[in-house]
Amino acid sequence: MPVRIDYYESGLGAATKRDMQSAMRSALIEVGHAHHRDIKPRKFKRSAATRYNYDIRGRGYIVAKIRRKTIDGVKAAGEGLDLVFSGRSRASVMGSRKVDTFVNSAERGRAEVIMPAPTLNFPGWTGIDMRGELERTIPSEEKEVFDRGRVAYAKRLDRIKRRKVGSHKG
């Protein structure tokens, strides 16, 4: 009577390079979506100017925004938030959930959180780099993102259970 013996690997020994890269990619996507969900809305709160050290806006600019005046054909939203004049850039940035990932190996990869707001690319008459202010992070957020990525990657690797690597009929 022939006997069949199957060989299995488990844990990280069962993971191929492709599995590791796939785990890295999905972890980075999860981190990017968490950034969209948790960190991006903080940029548009009243406390953001102090938290992220935004450049000081001029008095005329602030008064024009609050009184809902029109500057260069754009009507102000009437809010006192630093990154919001008409609200179009905020709507564009907050409406996007796109994340691009680039994975070179099982240990190295990066995610780019896409925040489309073309009007923030040009300083205009204020002379303030609003795109830079939108992308600015603080050390506690960097640690939060790193920790999320590490945990997400570990969870993905834990899902790799057993893999059949060969069999033998005797």
pTM over 0.85: no
d(CA 24, CA 65): 44
The total number of structural domains that make up the chain: 1
Each residue's pLDDT tens digit, 55-96 = 877 777 777 777 666 666 666 666 666 666 667 777 878 888
What distances in angstroms separate CA 27 from CA 32, 58, 152, one per listed residue? 9, 42, 5
Q: Which residue has better confidence, 51 or 59?
A: 51
| Per-residue tokens: 63 | 């008064």
How buried is residue 126: exposed, middle or buried, by Cβ count under 10 Å (0-12/13-18/19+)? middle
| Per-residue tokens: 16 | 């191929």
Q: How confident is the model at residue 104 (pLDDT cuts 50, 70, 90)?
A: confident
pLDDT at 88: 74
Q: Which stretches within the chain are classed as H helix?
A: 17-34, 48-51, 59-66, 88-95, 130-135, 139-158
Each residue's pLDDT tens digit, 113-139 = 888 877 777 766 667 787 888 888 899
| Per-residue tokens: 101 | 């990932």
pLDDT at 29: 92
pLDDT at 125: 63
Domain hosting 77: range is 4-169
Q: How many CB atoms lie within 10 A of CB 108?
A: 10
Buried b (16+ CB within 10 A) or exposed e, 1-26: eeeeeeeeeeeeeebeeebbbbbbbb
Q: Which residue has the tokens 């609050």?
A: 66
